[in-house]
Structure 1
Amino acid sequence: MAQAVHGPLSFLNTDGRPHPRENALAVVTLVLGAVALAFGFVPALNMVASWVGLAGIVTGGWGQMVSATTAERFVVVIGLGGAGLGFYLGMANGGLFG
């Protein structure tokens, strides 16, 4: 009989087994995507948005490859969308080094 997995991110473990690394990658991608998206709308923060967005894209790509459940993939895709949009807005306002 499957045991219930308890913890702060247990809603991502839809198969009943803990996935701490995959859950951490999903949440980090979501946070980086939110930060990149928020900073992408501020032209003065273009470098931060670009770098954070790039980090979110890399983290999300890795998280997508190692994800174990559909819930993790859902969170990663939402974070990837925010990171990508924040990255592109940062690039449009000056890029990684400007």
Structure 2
Amino acid sequence: MAGMPHMLGPIESEPFRFTLNTDGRPHTRENVLAVGSFLLGIVALILGFIVGAHIVATAFGIIGFAGGFFAQYVSVTTPQRSLIIMGIVASFVGALLGIAHGGFS
């Protein structure tokens, strides 16, 4: 029974804790860039569905898309990269919706 540790008793696990610093070191700049690109993407995506906000959606989408690529370049941990990718995709879709509704004109 040495190969089945789950049979010996309940396995105690740590409580769920969301962190972007999975390596145990603080990465303030990288975390701000990751969260910022995610938030810009969410705002661009939401505004992309509003026809009258096409200028702002396009601008936020382009800024979030470009900023997301820079954040991806300097990111350190996998959770940062995951959050950044979600922000890049949301920024891209938000920018496309903004462009489809009129873009900068």
Q: TM-score, length-normalised on structure 1? A: 0.87
- Once the two structures are TM-superposed, the CA of residue 58 in structure 1 deviates from its matched residue by 1.1
Letter in 1 for 2:95: F
1:30 is matched with 38
Amino acid paired to 1:38: I
* 1:29-77: CA deviation from partner (whole Å, max 9, x where unpaired): 0110000000000111000000000010011000000000000000000
Q: 2:55 aligns with which of 22, 47, 53?
A: 47
Q: CA deviation at 1:87?
A: 0.3
Other-structure match for 1:7:
none
Structure 1, gaps ≥5 residues long: 1-9
**Greater C-alpha Rg:** 2
Moved over 6 A (4+): none
What is the aligned partner in structure 2 of residue 70 from structure 1? 78
- Equivalent residue pairs, number: 88
Distance 1:23 1:94 in 2: 33
Task: Indicate yes or no: 2:91 matched with 1:83.
Answer: yes
Give the 3-state SS of the residue equivalent to 2:96 in structure 1: helix
Structure 2, unaligned runs of 5 or more: 1-17
Q: Structure 1 residue aligned with 2:102, among 87, 94, 97? A: 94
Could you say which residue in structure 1 is the equivalent of 2:5? Answer: none
Q: Which has the higher helix share?
A: 1
Matching residue's letter, 1:69: T
